Structure 1
Amino acid sequence: MLVLKQIAGEYKCLNPSLAVYLVAARNLLTEFREATWEYIPREENFAANELAQVASGIQIPGDCVQRIIKIGRKSLPSILTRGMEIEVNSALITKDNWREPIMTYLQYPTLPSEKRVRIMATNYLMWNEDLVQKSKDEVLLRCLGKIEYMKVMGETHKGICGAHQGGRKMCWLIRRYSYFWPTMMKDCINYSKGCEACQRHGPIQQAPLVPMNPVVKPWLFKGWAMDLIGKIYPASSQQHCFIIVATDYFTKWVEAKPIKTTTSQQIITFIEEQIIQRFGIPESIRTDRGSSFISSSNCFNLPLIMLKLMDRQNQVTRWLSISSERCWRRIQSSGMRSYQRLCGHTELQKEKRLA
């Protein structure tokens, strides 16, 4: 189609190698009074397509001017016409089945097998060429493959006796029907969540039709959100490849510090120096529960640090309350009025000074 459009002048020929053939084709057309072009698809133009494929796949040396290629056609009849006997065997194509390794080991225990399969096979046995599991209550459960347990879940959930139960109830019913596969609970929950009828006719979520508003802390530096950035490549001149960041919920104040490793000690040091010593003891610090934030050392050391600092703060608060109480008692015992306590002299002394 592209070649026909180029010959007709509708498209431009931008390829220099094709421009030579375009000029030759147009010169050839000038020798005819009338000429028509018709596009033939590749499937119908079999001979030309095969010749083009053969020509494009053969390399001709530079010193060779021309090369003759012989194309022959097979004249022998088909196999059935020649009377040859054919034996056709059917092959069963199976997908990944979790039962196959266990069944192979139980049927042929002398063959080499993995240790994991040998341990799993202790809970299974073969019964009438089917794999069954020995449950804890001494009930034999028939093991199912993917195609089979999808049918069982469909009949249990929305079949004749199905009541569109939830995932856990459906898993319990299937075990009562003496069926088993390793991922029963997960598959049943996903199946019940994906049921269209349950989504259409299920209970409506009792939530107000208002946009959700973020909940912030009522005071400054009482709640922080902390996270790690990295690994950053390339690292800095001091080999810092991570950044630990903490953001205050109320003021959106950001504290950041470059670090080399994400150990628990680095996290504890950052909390002590950048948050507690500068802004006081926070009420909460929220993280994404990464391995560096929920390590055993953090879970043990941070509460102790918070308790010690709270004890110190309580001691300071207690001392301030005691000192203020003593000052108030002294003021009351001396008979000083409010104006004198604030300005250092009485109103009468002020009038005398002005006079």
Structure 2
Amino acid sequence: MSKSILTGRLAKWALLLNQYEIIYISAKAVKGQALADFLADHPILADWKISDDLPDEDMFYINIFPKWTMFFDGSARGDGAGAGVVFMSPQRQILPYSFQLSELCSNNVAEYQALIIGLQMAINMEIIAFEVYGDSKLIINQLLTKYEVMKDDFVPYFRLATQLLQRFEAVTLEHVPRKENQMADTLANLASSTTLREDEAADVPVCQIWVIPLITEMLLDDINVISVLSVDVEEWRQPLIDYLEHGKLPDDHRHRSEIRRRAPHFLYYKETLYRRSFEVVLLRCLGEEETNQAMEEAHSSVCRAHQYGPKLHFQLKRMGYYWPSMVKDCLEHAKRCQACQFHANFIHQPSEPLHPTAASWPFDAWGLDFVGSVAPKSYAGEGYILAATDYFSKWAEAIPLR
């Protein structure tokens, strides 16, 4: 009411209440006033101190997963490749593992092999959260999505490692320099070399392993798979023929009721199924292959009328044919016709921007909107609303309807 320009209902109220010399003051925030009144009614004592003790402190706890640490490294040489994985438990216990890769590969593939082997071992050990350290900056940044996987050879290993990382509650990946990853590097070099010098000793068992990513799962997005299945589609006429000739009904209860309801409209005579139309004309029922041939003949071969969908449907019924999805099939067949695409009636009028219409005086133009259905309904059973809005004054009227 304090605005300089008022329209509509507010203007009417302002004129009626102007004779009483009423002054309108905007209401302030109620929330701030309520807080101020509460603090005024409950003053804090001067010697009051904040208590750090929590009531029922035995009921409060924080569940923190014990974090493990894993170092991985892969090494490839001319005569072999190896992988080293070192686990460190929360109690600072060291668990070293070394693997000899059974196939020759590049150094980056060996790094991926070491990481995947370590992740699979962590899953078998039921580790929930752990930190992963590796000296391969390329692999760490690829898994952190900082680098893009450019080579196709790395894509299966990258996707397999990503899937394995998603199975943990909390995993952090960090790159460490090679000098800080000496234990895993030593195990990788130990596995890649088949022999040791006389002055070297190792108590770590070495076994052969090779991780093969599942191509069907990893590269499914990159491979176009075409599968051909032979499906026996039930002819829509067969249940009706079985019921009219032998009285046989399907096992499904709903299908059985539908056959009984539709059967009086059909006639089976001399191994041909007919349907009685509203004009008491027998229409021959067609199968799937016969419907395509009939639409092709009626649309562009014998008749060559190139009718649009509803006209084609009417033409086929006049020719004495019927199948359940006639209307939909005729519409789709007419849309797929190439000749109709070229020779259809096109609108050659140039496009123009829209021109909004402005109302010149009140109640010159109205906008109507029908809302419904509204649930739950009113006591009078009204479940719809007819809303009308005046374009000039934005005056709105609403009428409930049943």
**TM-score bin (small chain):** 0.3 to 0.5
Greater relative CO, 1 or 2 (CA 8 Å, sep 6+) = 2
TM-score by length of 2: 0.38
The answer to which structure has the higher helix fraction is 1
